[in-house]
Amino acid sequence: MEYRKLGTTDFMVSPLCLGTMQFGWTADEETSLAILTVAQEAGVNFIDTADVYSRWVPGNPGGVSESIVGNWLKRGAGRRDEVVIATKVRGRMWEGPDGEGLSRSHILRAVEGSLNRMGIDTIDLYQLHSPDLKTPIEETLRALDDLIRSGKVRAIGCSNFTAEQTSDALTVSKERGLAAFVSIQPHYNLVHRREYEAELESLCAENSLAVLPYSPLASGFLTGKYQRGQPPPAGSRGASSQRIRDLETKTGAWSALEALAGLADSLGRSPAQIALAWLLSLPTVTSPIIGPRSLEQLSDNLASVEIRLNQSERQALEEASSGL
């Protein structure tokens, strides 16, 4: 793999980041551990998790994904000094007024939980999972700056921030002499382009922010499993995911999917591989976050790094997905 610089840090990360949201949800621990090992053996050195994964599962208090990553490291299957570990903070992890959010008290307690679950001394990239409009951004950034100074965190980033929120945070960091974001996780893929490209793309380029798109396959829509005019396959997320249902009502999304599938077929590749290859070809994108729940999905995703789309292939995809 050709490794890429993570923003302004000295981290060199793989062009694909292994997302772990499925761990402890649709992938049991044995499968999750195998995915981690195979991914690292293939050259993936960048792992993304969050303290709340997967708190929405009945009986899951949160922290399960981080614990699985920690178990992988403790068993010696994973080599800590060879991986860049990113996690996130914001969601509710305990009861009480500071049980969620980006207040100083929540962050300082939450970071200890993440460190303990993963059995590590330092988090390489600590990210704000989403904005907290109730907490001044300066309070949040001062807490993060203190964590960097203490050695518990090496770099910070954000996720789901608008361009205005990101710009405001960068300004506060500069004016107050505080640690600044080095990365951002936007919702960005071939059928969700408008918000990132219209608002965030230039900001990220101007500030050398690493861009780590999540949901690069649009919750499975871009894998080719869905067909225009046909009901979603049994067991797929199409029946329950609002994002999938929204896409199914958009003619443009189907046109983009059909163009993607046609190009994939002509190249002898899967639609998912071409969707990832498109993101990998973009100059502002650092490392899309894949979320495999099986070794088969992981293998398919990993093959995307071998693909080099030419200008006409990229243009065809972008014309078919224009306006989305």
| Residues taking part in catalysis | 53
Burial class (CB in 10 A: 0-12, 13-18, 19+), 201: buried
* Amino acid identity, position 147: L
Contact between residue 45 and residue 84 where contact means Cβ atoms under 8 Å apart: yes
CA 282 to chain centroid: 16
CA 22 to chain centroid: 12
Secondary structure tally for the chain: helices H, strands E = 12, 10
- The residues facing 48 across adjacent strands are 19, 86
Contact between residue 195 and residue 160 where contact means Cβ atoms under 8 Å apart: no
Of 266, 267, 257, which Cα lies nearest the Cα of 306? 267
